[in-house]
């Protein structure tokens, strides 16, 4: 069983009468069921809208020190959304500088941000405890919908990813998700893994890596994965390349620069 921790930025017009209806696509990728409806949370001073500030300067995708324009109302251990696309756990605080921050929380990815971009505290949350992913499903999407009487806001969509565990410790699950231009998961699309040289092997076992392309297809959630040898467990000069939707108008090549010593990684972080 898994515990899925959902966090999101409150609606800018949230008040004591605001509710959030949380839905999820547990039964199927395109079927949404109500999980719970909960009251809005007081941010700590009697208000319900999010605290907000901006980044004081540019930050790289791998930066763990973040400087805000103002540290007022932002403490160590707070979760913040940067640019409305990356969730970050703030680290140790000194005035408006936070060190040891954890980037790419939840289903988000660490990306570069420009100075001046909005930073908002994500004080709304819900914990989905003792949840079991349906067999064969690796992605569950949640939607937090603001409800104000008869008025409903646009949903905040949150993604919970549970990549398959590699069958051996020398492998890493490299995965991704695919959606169309309208934001819908795309199934049945090929994702090919190439290795450009044949002199690669696993020094731990002596296995030579057969350099023939391996192809998988995206599932109904748009999810795909390949098990790839971690860099620490591979010898040879070969380079791995992913080709998403080979031969189509949407073909995307991606060179894998690093396969980390971890169980899983999103391909955009390689």
Ranges of the chain with pLDDT below 50: none
Burial of residue 34 (number of CB atoms within 10 Å: 0-12, 13-18, 19+):
exposed
How many CB atoms neighbour CB 12 within 10 A? 12
pLDDT for 108: 94
Q: What is the rounded CA–CA span in Å between residue 23 and residue 144?
A: 7
CB 215 within 8 A of CB 170: no
pLDDT for 76: 98
3-state DSSP assignment of residue 233: helix
CB 68 within 8 A of CB 56: yes
CB 83 within 8 A of CB 113: yes
pLDDT for 82: 98
Q: Where are the domains of the chain?
A: 2-46+124-161, 171-269
Q: What is the rounded CA–CA span in Å between residue 121 and residue 47?
A: 13
Residue range 2-46+124-161 forms a domain whose CATH class is mainly beta
Burial of residue 161 (number of CB atoms within 10 Å: 0-12, 13-18, 19+):
middle
Q: What is the rounded CA–CA span in Å between residue 77 and residue 91?
A: 6
Q: Residue 71: which of 48, 97, 108, 45 has the closest Cα? A: 97
pLDDT for 74: 98
CB 157 within 8 A of CB 143: yes
DSSP 181-217: TTS-B--S-EEEEEES-S--B-TTT--B---S-EEEE
Same fold, 2-46+124-161 and 171-269: yes
Q: What is the pTM of this model?
A: 0.91
> Out of 3.30.479.30, 3.10.620.30, 2.60.40.10, 3.20.20.70, which CATH number does the structure's domain 171-269 have?
2.60.40.10
* Strand-pair category, 214-217 with 240-244: unpaired
């Amino acid at each position: 069983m898994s515990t899925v921790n959902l966090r999101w930025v409150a609606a800018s017009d949230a008040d004591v009468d605001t509710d959030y209806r949380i839905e999820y696509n547990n039964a199927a990728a395109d079927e949404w069921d109500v999980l719970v409806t909960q009251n809005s949370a007081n941010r700590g001073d009697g208000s319900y809208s999010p605290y907000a500030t901006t980044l004081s300067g540019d930050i790289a995708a791998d930066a763990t020190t973040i400087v805000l324009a103002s540290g007022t109302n932002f403490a160590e251990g707070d979760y913040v959304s940067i640019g409305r696309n990356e969730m970050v756990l703030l680290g140790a605080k000194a005035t408006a500088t936070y060190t040891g921050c954890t980037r790419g929380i939840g289903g988000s990815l660490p990306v570069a941000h420009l100075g001046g971009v909005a930073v908002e505290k994500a004080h709304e949350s819900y914990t989905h405890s003792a949840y079991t992913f349906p067999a064969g499903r690796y992605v569950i999407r949640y939607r937090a919908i603001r409800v104000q009487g008869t008025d409903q806001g646009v949903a905040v969509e949150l993604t919970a990813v549970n990549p398959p565990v590699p069958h051996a410790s020398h492998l890493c699950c490299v995965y991704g998700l695919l959606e169309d231009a309208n934001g819908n998961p795309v199934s049945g699309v090929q994702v090919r893994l190439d290795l450009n040289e044949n002199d690669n092997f696993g020094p731990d076992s002596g296995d030579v890596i057969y350099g023939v392309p391996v192809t998988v297809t995206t599932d109904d959630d748009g999810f795909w994965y390949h098990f790839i040898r971690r860099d620490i467990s591979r010898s040879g000069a070969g380079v791995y390349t992913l080709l998403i939707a080979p031969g189509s108008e949407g073909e995307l090549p991606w060179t894998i620069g690093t396969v980390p010593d971890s169980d899983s990684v999103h391909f955009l972080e390689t």
